[in-house]
Amino acid sequence: SQKIEQNSEALNIQEGKTATLTCNYTNYSPAYLQWYRQDPGRGPVFLLLIRENEKEKRKERLKVTFDTTLKQSLFHITASQPADSATYLCALLYSSASKIIFGSGTRLSIRP
Amino acid sequence: DTGVSQDPRHKITKRGQNVTFRCDPISEHNRLYWYRQTLGQGPEFLTYFQNEAQLEKSRLLSDRFSAERPKGSFSTLEIQRTEQGDSAMYLCASSLGPGSGANSYNEQFFGPGTRLTVL
C-alpha cells in the first residue's frame, strides 16, 4: 500500500525565514499532489495542487515542487510569519476528484 | 456561511451505543467524502459518493459503519455498536466532480469535523 512520509518532527523556525517541508512517497506517483493546512480542532484547508507533469507551482508566498523520480514533494513558505504556524498535510490523488491519501503532517511553528 | 457543515461537533457515547453524524456539503458539489482522523495522524479515507451513489469504501469501513446520501445532498455516517477504538474526529468534505466544467474539482472543502469519544 502507498506510504507517505513527512518531516517526522515538528519544525521550528524564525519569523522571516523560509520554511521547507518534505513529503516522500513510495510506490507509483500520483496524478495530483496537494498540500493542505490544518489548524487545531479544524478541518484541513486546501492550499496548492501540482500535477505529475509539473515541476513547480507557486501561489503568493507558497511554492511546491514535485519530483516523480525522487518520489518527493517540497513545500516552501517564504518570509514566514507566526500566523503560518499550523500542521501541513501532504496529500496524493491518483485520479480526478477521488479519495485523498494523506500524510501524517508536519507541525510548523514560526517564532517571532 | 456556505461551507461544509457537520453536526454534531462533539459526541460522547458509551461503548455499544449507536451514533449518527450528519454532513451538509456545499450545495453545488456532487462529490462527498468521509474521513477519520486520530491524534497526530492525517485523515484516513472512509468512503465517498457521487450524488447519491456510493463509489468507494475503504477496508477501514467495517460492517458496523454505514454511510448514506439518499438524495444526493446531505449525508449521514452511522456507527453501530461503538467501540473505544472508534474514538476519532470524523471529517466530511465535498468537491465538484469531473465533468462539472470547472478546473477545481480536485479541491476538497472540509467541514469542521465531529469529534467522537467512546467511553
pLDDT in tens, B77-87: 999 999 999 99
CA separation for the pair B43, B17 (Å, rounded)? 24
Q: Which residues of chain A does B41 touch, with a Cβ-Cβ cutoff of 8 Å?
A: 104-105
Whether A47 and A109 have beta carbons less than 8 Å apart is answered as no
pLDDT band at B104; cut points 50, 70, 90: low
* Residue A40 grid coordinates: 487545531
The secondary structure of residue A105, as a DSSP letter, is -
- From the first residue on, what is the mean pLDDT of each consecutive set of 10 residues in chain A (112 residues)? 83 96 90 93 94 93 95 96 97 83 95 94
> Alpha carbon of B51 to those of A22, B55, B68: distances in Å?
35, 10, 10
pLDDT classification of B36: cutoffs 50, 70, 90: very high
Q: Is A104–B42 a contact, with Cβ atoms under 8 angstroms apart? A: yes
Indicate if the pLDDT at residue B1 is higher than 60: no
Q: Are B89 and B37 in contact (CB under 8 A)?
A: yes
Reported as a pLDDT band with limits 50, 70 and 90, residue B26 is very high
- B97 close to A (CB below 8 A): yes
**How many CA atoms lie less than 13 Å away from A6 in the CB half-sphere?**
26
Instruction: Give the separation between CA B9 and CA A78, rounded to whole angstroms.
Output: 35
> Quick one: pLDDT at residue B102?
58
B61 or B18: which leads in pLDDT: B18
The predicted structure's pLDDT at residue A100 = 87
Identify the pLDDT of residue B96: 87
Chain A residue closest to B92 (CA)? A43
| Calpha distance A77→A88 (Å, rounded) | 11
Residue B114 near residue B24 (C-beta atoms within 8 A): no
Q: Band of the pLDDT at B7, cuts 50, 70, 90?
A: very high
DSSP one-letter string for B21-78? EEEE--TT--EEEEEEE-TTS--EEEEEEETTEEEEE-TTS-TTEEEE-TTSS-EEEE
pLDDT average, residue stretch B3-21: 97
The CA angle B79-B80-B81, to the nearest 5 degrees, is 125
A99 or B44, higher pLDDT:
B44
CA dist., res. A1 & res. A101, Å (int): 11
**Closest partner CB to A101 (pick from B40, B45, B98):** B45
